[in-house]
Each structure stands twice: as C-alpha cells, then as structure tokens.
A and B are shown apart, each in its own frame.
Chain A
Amino acid sequence: MGDGGDPERLILPEPTHVGFVTHDIKRAMAHLQQYFGIGAFTEMTPDYSNKRCYGEPEDFQTQLAFARVGNMVYELIQVLRGRTIYQALMKEHGEGIHHLGYEVSDLARWAMAYKAVGIEPIMSGERIGLKWAYFDTPEIIVELLERTPEGRVV
C-alpha cells in the first residue's frame, strides 16, 4: 500500500498520520493515553531548516508528540513560537484534527503538480532525513512528507 501515489495525476497514497493541534500537549497526551490506550508518545522539538510559512521565511518552533497504532500515527502539535498555520486553525475552529499526512517519494514533483492546479505550499520545513510541506487543498489540509530512513520517528 505504501506506493507513494502518483503526483502527475494527483493520486495520493493512503494517509499515514493524523495531525492534531492543541494548546496543551501534555493534557492531550494524557487523554489519548487514558481514552485511546496509547502507551507512550515520542516527544520532539525538531530543529527545522528552510522554514517557511505562507510563502515567507518564518522562525517557528513546535513541540510534537508521536504515537503509532498499526498503520496510523497520531501526531500532536503545540506551537512554541513563531507564525504557523496551526494558530490560524485554532483561532477559527479551536483545537482539533488539523491535517492528514501522506508519505511521498518525490515532494518536489508533488509541489509542481499542486502548483499546476493553483495550490501553493502554505508551510514547509526540513530536518535530517525529512522534508515536509503543507498544501492548502480544499476540504482537508494535506501534509506531504518525503522521508529517508533517518527521518523516521515511530
């Protein structure tokens, strides 16, 4: 199933994570442990490079917590500083599921394919082994991730 989809025809693979934005990641983790039975989260504050938000360089920092259950990863996100697309959602909708994440094999091709239909990346960054970008797709915001083995978390 992990076929990476087809950027030329905009066929996404199956989603591999659900991104949940929160003001209080400790509370959210505790609730997912209590009511979803998730044993342990892997917490991280990644050192991203090439950070951009709404087309401009931006020095955001986020606290993340990841837990895998079968094929799906829960990603919890709390903003530590800077402008992000997460605050915009929280202001309008409150805390909640913010995006679905998809692992792809060639992020640059996807960015070109979305551009061809008028959809721009709204936030992006890189760290060792991982490049990611959010696209302002209608209905649900899509995060695409191009990962090498050293970029793997859970």
Chain B
Amino acid sequence: MANKVDPEELILPEPSHVGYATVDIERSIGNFKKYWGIESFVKMVPEYFNRKYYGEPGDFRMQFAFARVGNMVYELIQVLEGKTLYGDFIKDHGEGIHHLGYEVSDLDKWIEAYKRTGREPIMSAERVGLKIVYFDTPEITVELLERAPEGKVV
C-alpha cells in the first residue's frame, strides 16, 4: 500500500486524521463513545506559537480530543477563543467534518508547492514537535502536519 508521496507533484500521502468541528466537545466525545465504541479520547489545549489566520497573526485557542482506531485518528475540535477556520466552517455549514489531515516530512516544500498553484496557507501554528498548516484546496480543506516524535499524541 506504500505509495509515492511527492510535494513537487502535489501527491499527498493517505490521510491520517479526520478533523471534526463541534460546538460541544463533551457531547461529541459522549456520542463517539456510545455509537463508535471509542473508549477514551486524549484531550488537550495546545500552547501554540507562530499562530496565523489568513496571513495575519492569530490568537486562537482550541480544545482538542484525539482517538486512534487503526490507521485513522478522529480529531474533535472546539474553538475556545480567536478567529479560526473551524469557527468559520461552523458558521457557514454547521458542525461536521472540517478537514482531512496528512503527515508530511517537509512542510516548507509543500507550502512552496501549493504556492506555485496559487494556494496560500489559510491557518498555521506550531507547538513543541509539531508544525501545522491548512490549505484552502478546492473540495476538501487539507491540513498538513510535520511532526517530530515529541509531537505525537495518539
């Protein structure tokens, strides 16, 4: 199943998480436990730095909850403060699956490659062991993550 991944040709790897935007993360966790059989979520409120939202400095903070099932991670997201893509999405579409996440090894190369097609990062941030950036790709919003071992959650 190993397939070619290549920023120069914009060939993404397989998605590794599904990002779900909710206004009530405790309710969502309860539902995933009851109807998906997910026993426990790892909850966190990351201390991000270098936060950006549409190219401007961002002040967002989110409550996350993560659970892995096989190759896939469910990521639940509730906005605590600041302007975010998730808040925009909920305003426009309601709660739901907001993005697919992809683990990449060289985020800067991907940013350059998307830029060449006219796609700018729309939100980005860093924490210890992890850099994340969202792209406004047509059809599905893409989150790319460059992770060191200390950035691993589940």
Contact = CB atoms under 8 A, between A and B. Distances in A.
Partners in one complex: yes
A97 interface: yes
A36 B12 contact: yes
B31 A139 contact: yes
Interface stretch (A46-54, A79-87, A88-96, A123-131): A88-96
Interface stretch (A26-34, A56-64, A145-153): A26-34
A64 to B, nearest CB: 15
B95 A37 contact: no
A145 B140 CA distance: 23
B148 interface: no
B142 interface: yes
Interface string B121-154: 0000000000000000111101000000000000
Which of A12, A35, A139 is the most central at the interface, judged by chain B CB atoms within 10 Å of its CB?
A: A139
B96 A97 contact: yes
A94 B97 CA distance: 13
Given A70-B3, A139-B32, A15 B9 contact: no
Given A15-B18, A22-B139, A72 B72 contact: yes
Given A31-B137, A70-B1, A1 B70 contact: yes
Interface stretch (B33-41, B45-53, B55-63, B78-86): B33-41
B140 A20 contact: yes
A20 B32 CA distance: 21
Contacts of A138: 31, 35
B6 interface: yes
A11 to B, nearest CB: 3
A45 interface: no
Which of A12, A18, A138, A140 is the most central at the interface, judged by chain B CB atoms within 10 Å of its CB?
A: A140
Given A32-B139, A37-B12, A69-B12, A13 B117 contact: no
Q: Closest 8 CB pairs between A and B?
A: A37-B11, A11-B37, A14-B70, A70-B14, A1-B70, A97-B97, A31-B138, A138-B31
Interface of B: 1-3, 6, 9-15, 18, 20, 22, 28, 31-32, 34-37, 69-72, 92-97, 100, 114, 117, 119, 137-140, 142
24 contacts: A10-B35, A10-B36, A14-B69, A14-B71, A15-B72, A18-B18, A20-B140, A32-B139, A35-B10, A35-B117, A35-B138, A35-B142, A36-B11, A36-B142, A69-B13, A70-B3, A72-B15, A93-B94, A94-B93, A100-B97, A139-B35, A139-B95, A140-B20, A142-B36
